[in-house]
């Protein structure tokens, strides 16, 4: 799952779009909420690519993965050896979807919820 996420992000150079593709309805709803705010010049929520932790991602950096738990836990992706993002996964049918991403110690969903109306 995580390898597909970063492969898609690298191909499309769009981390938020990638989260929409692999996200749960709950995560997608929060991203849409942020988009509605941004469309009205209320810049809130996340201002950078949460998959890479900055506004100008280097899509060529190596990514390594580690699963927390017994195969159905969170996945930690480490990018370039220094930045990491933790994916909270939710079972969806026979696969998993991303329900949230923690980066720089914060939850994407919580940041959007706290900052956007």
The 10s digit of each residue's pLDDT in 19-75 is: 999 999 999 999 999 999 999 999 999 888 888 888 888 888 889 988 876 656 789
Q: Do residues 99 and 23 lie in contact, with contact meaning Cβ atoms separated by under 8 Å?
A: yes
| pLDDT at residue 70, rounded to an integer | 61
Q: How would residue 7 be classed by pLDDT, with cut points 50, 70 and 90?
A: confident
CA distances from 82 to 48, 52, 62, 64 (A): 17, 10, 11, 11
Instruction: Give residue limits of the domains in the chain.
Output: 3-115
User: For residues 13 and 63, which has the higher predicted lDDT (pLDDT)?
Assistant: 63
Report whether pLDDT(1) > 70. no
């Amino acid at each position: 799952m995580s390898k597909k996420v970063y492969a898609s992000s690298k191909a499309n150079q769009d981390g938020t779009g990638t989260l929409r593709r692999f996200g749960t309805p709950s995560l997608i709803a929060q991203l849409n909420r942020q988009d509605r705010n941004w469309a009205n010049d209320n810049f809130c929520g996340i201002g950078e690519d949460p998959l890479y932790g900055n506004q100008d991602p280097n899509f060529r950096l190596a990514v390594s993965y580690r699963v927390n738990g017994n195969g159905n836990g969170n996945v930690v992706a480490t990018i370039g050896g220094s930045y990491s993002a933790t994916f909270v996964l939710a079972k969806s049918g026979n696969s998993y979807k991303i329900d949230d991403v923690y980066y720089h110690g914060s939850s994407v969903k919580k940041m959007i919820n706290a900052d956007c109306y």
